[in-house]
Structures are given as C-alpha cells and as structure tokens.
Amino acid sequence: MTNPGGRKAVVCVNGGTGSEVPGTWASSLEWLVRRLAPDFPALTFVEVRYRIKSWKKLTWCIDDCRSAITLAAGEGAEEIALLGFSMGGAVAIATADHPLVSTVIGLAPWIPDRIDVDTLEGRRVAIVHGALDRWLPGIPGVSPKSSLRGYERIRAAGVDATHTVISGGLHGLAIRSRRGGLVPLPRAAHWARLVAAELGRFESAAVGSGHGVDRARR
C-alpha cells in the first residue's frame, strides 16, 4: 500500500498467465505507481497480489480483487478507482459492481466476450492500449482490436467510456531486468500521462459523486 489513509483509493489489478503460478507484483504497475504516487499524495494505491495469477483461476483472481477493495474501504477509502493491466482489466470489470467503485482504467486490458459489462453501469471507463501489442508465441499480449471490441460492448451498454491507442506502444509499460530493476518500455511516459489525466479526474471529483458511491449511500 502506498500513500495510506486517503479518502480515495486506486486498487491496482495485475495481469496473469496461462500457467498456474503464485501472484507477483506486475512490473508495469509497479513502475507506474512509483512514478505517479508522489504526484497524487491524497490517493492511496493498493496492490492486488493474486494467490494464483492465471486466467485459469479467474474466479480466484476476482475474489482476490474484491478482498483488496474491502481492505481499501477498511483503511478509510470512500471511493475507489480500479487500475487493471492485461488480465487485470477483466478482473477490474468483474469487480466494478462494488458500490464504492466509480472509475475503471484498463491498460492493454483483456476483455473476453464472456465478461459481463453490466457491472460498469454508471462508472467512468478509460481504456489505453499500445498499437503494437499482440500475442506472439511465448510472449504475452492482447491485441488492441480485442479491447476495441470490449469497448464497443461497453459503449453499447450506455457506459461513459474512452478507448485510446498509443502509437508505438507495446504490451505494458515496463519489464523487470535480471537484476530486479524496472526498465520502461517505449512510450511508457505517454502511458503515464494518460493514466495521470484519469487519476486527476478521479481525484478532483467530489467524494460520493460517482454513481456507484451514490447508490451505496441511498
């Protein structure tokens, strides 16, 4: 947890793999939080660390995200944004029906057709994707055309949503070097600026102005 004690929290939802392996902190989200948290001291950043980070255990990952939302609320958050990377996009959409969630930001999000987007009713959704992202043998990726299909389903449901493609962007923002350091990928700074704009929007809105929060207090 970074910047604890805020009235608003950003729950960061990691990606996953086909292999059933223990959860770790995603390099892209770790790099992004390190870069942005100092600029948003009033926002608490919470990491979702899955028990198993695999789309084969997607239900488990969703439950882990719900636990992180509960933790954030228990620490004082009155409104929550979900920041989901890759598979974390699907997890964030699935958990967006929590009454404190008002915003969902998807970074190269996986939005499979089986994921119900009705959970996003009344929320603000921003999708950002690298133009060069794609799945290759042995290299994880999500095609921007895939997230565009998800975006079109979300818009068809009447949700306030945007879909931005970053020219030259890859799958994510950073990788981890052999020594454990974080190495930003091309266009990482552009990703960060777009996310910062969404977080600024989330931070500046009055607490409780989001649809989900209003519904919880009725």
- Number of Cβ atoms within 10 Å of the Cβ of 43: 21
Q: If we measure between CA atoms, which residue out of 171, 106, 140 comes closest to residue 19?
A: 140
d(CA 169, CA 191): 8
SS3 for 83-132, per residue? EEECHHHHHHHHHCCCCCEEEEEEECCCCCCCCCHHHHCCCEEEEEEECC
CATH class of 8-217: alpha beta
Q: What is the pTM of this model?
A: 0.91
Regarding beta strands 182-184 and 174-176, do their DSSP bridges make them parallel or antiparallel, or are they unpaired?
antiparallel
The whole-number pLDDT of residue 174 equals: 93
- Written as one letter, the residue type at 44 is T
The whole-number pLDDT of residue 205 equals: 86
CA-based torsion, 212, 201, 2, 141: positive or negative: positive
Tokens of 153: 């389903």
What does each of the 218 residues of the chain score in pLDDT, given as a tens digit? 899 999 999 999 998 777 777 777 889 999 999 999 999 999 999 999 888 887 788 899 999 999 999 999 999 999 999 999 999 999 999 999 999 999 999 999 999 999 999 999 999 999 999 999 987 666 678 999 999 999 999 999 999 999 999 999 999 899 889 888 999 999 999 999 999 999 999 999 877 666 555 544 33
d(CA 62, CA 41): 27
The whole-number pLDDT of residue 216 equals: 43
The single-letter DSSP state of residue 185 is P
d(CA 31, CA 28): 5
The single-letter DSSP state of residue 140 is -
The whole-number pLDDT of residue 209 equals: 66
The whole-number pLDDT of residue 215 equals: 45
Phi, psi for 43 (deg, rounded to 5): -100, 130
